[in-house]
Chain A
Amino acid sequence: MFIKTLPGYTLAALMLALALPASATERYELSIRNHRFEPASLTVPAGVKVKLVVKNLDNSPEEFESYSLHREKLIPAGGQITVFIGPLDPGRYDFFGEFHSDTAKGQIIAK
């Protein structure tokens, strides 16, 4: 019986979830220059959603990637992206540039 009525319950729950408004976000910025993140360490408040703008100042593309943040996104040469992260538990979250992972490394500290 549960399996038979599951579609109706699922659709109702999902419609309710999609109707929830987005929460307010604080804005932070990172830059990539000479295949390095600036700043390499960024402190953000824990427990709230954060809007992170990543600007690629190099003349080659880069990919912002973080396993712990569950984010992976291409940044065109000279372009910028917006990444929404959190709300995060207090702790350290590493990220890197996949195309230059030997130099493009950084971390977000949530406090």
Chain B
Amino acid sequence: MSTLNTKNLSTMAMVAISFYLLPMQTALASHKVYSPTVEQGEIELELRGHTTSDSDPAKDGLGKYKLEAGYGVSEHWFTSVFAEYETAPGVAASQTALSWENIFQLTEPGQYWMDVGAYLEYEHAQETGVNDKLEGKLLLEKTSGAYVNTANIVLAHELGAGASSATEFELAWRTKYLLDPHFEPSIEFYGSYGELGVTPSNAQDHRIGPVVSGRFNTSPHHKLGYELGYLVGISDAAPSGTLKFLLEYEM
């Protein structure tokens, strides 16, 4: 539960300005694994993104980043809006989408063998000739001792005139070790399978790699969090390397 006062508003403004300026200097990214657990009353500002590296110029230097503001409306619902930007070598960052994201916590953490949640996102394209998109995710999490295993099963479908009839399938996985609140190592996997049974394996995009994350208390119930990782491409269509990062401020 947060009470908005002048100090909080000033902090939010500073973080928002920092988040706005940072993407102008670097190409950024957006691979993320979502937990099914939400926190009531939490206000969150987040910047995340990635940039790619590859010997193939078509897959090198591509950046995508997202700037997000969210709020824990209840103990079962977290909602946020975010703007998505993309960059390429020699091309200035441009906004490609504006999205509304919702996470629904469906089970109490630890009550069942696995924690379950749902994610629903409406992505409104900002580019001409690009369709809006609806994305749904099943969020699953299982904690075993100090290991937290999280999986997201993703289905995405275009909307509007000229939309593709295909439903695309993606899978995201993270196994995190609760070593220290300031430094938690994990392994993440992202698989983009395209349309199941249709998209050939050489057109699928799969990446895996180590990620570290952590959170620091900046003042009572105010936290600064980070993620930094490097994903290796393990399929033909994936870039050989992806540097990903996340910076968030919670209050």
Chains A and B form a bound pair: yes
* Chain A interface residues (CB < 8 Å from chain B): 3-4, 6-7, 10-11, 14, 17-18, 20, 22, 49, 61, 63, 67-68, 70-74, 76, 82-86, 89, 98-99, 101
Chain B contact surface mostly: loop
Contact between chains at A3 and B201 (CB < 8 Å): yes
Among B110, B113, B148, B151, residue most surrounded by chain A Cβ atoms (within 10 Å)? B110
Known contacts A4-B201, A67-B178; A74 and B1 CB within 8 A of each other:
yes
Known contacts A3-B191, A3-B234, A7-B169; A74 and B151 CB within 8 A of each other:
no
Interface size on B, residues (CB 8 A): 35
- Does any Cβ of A come within 8 Å of B89's Cβ? no
Please give 10 more A-B residue pairs, beta carbons under 8 A apart, in addition to A3-B235, A17-B142, A83-B110. A6-B191, A7-B196, A10-B171, A11-B153, A18-B113, A20-B112, A63-B1, A71-B109, A84-B110, A101-B220
Quick one: CB contact mask for B175-213 with A, threshold 8 Å, 1 for yes? 000100100000000010100100001001010000000
Q: Among A67, A76, A85, A98, which residue has its beta carbon within 8 angstroms of that of B110?
A: A85
Contact between chains at A3 and B206 (CB < 8 Å): yes
Contact between chains at A73 and B39 (CB < 8 Å): yes
For A89, the chain B residues whose CB sits under 8 A away are 145
Q: Among A6, A22, A99, which residue has its beta carbon within 8 angstroms of that of B220?
A: A99
- Does any Cβ of A come within 8 Å of B221's Cβ? yes
- Does any Cβ of A come within 8 Å of B140's Cβ? yes
Contact between chains at A70 and B178 (CB < 8 Å): yes
For A7, the chain B residues whose CB sits under 8 A away are 169, 171, 191, 193, 196
- Does any Cβ of A come within 8 Å of B6's Cβ? no
Contact between chains at A10 and B1 (CB < 8 Å): no
Nearest chain B CB to A59's CB is how many angstroms away?
13
For B1, the chain A residues whose CB sits under 8 A away are 61, 63, 74, 76
Nearest chain B CB to A61's CB is how many angstroms away?
4
For A3, the chain B residues whose CB sits under 8 A away are 191, 201, 204, 206, 234-235
- Does any Cβ of A come within 8 Å of B127's Cβ? no
Nearest chain A CB to B94's CB is how many angstroms away?
32
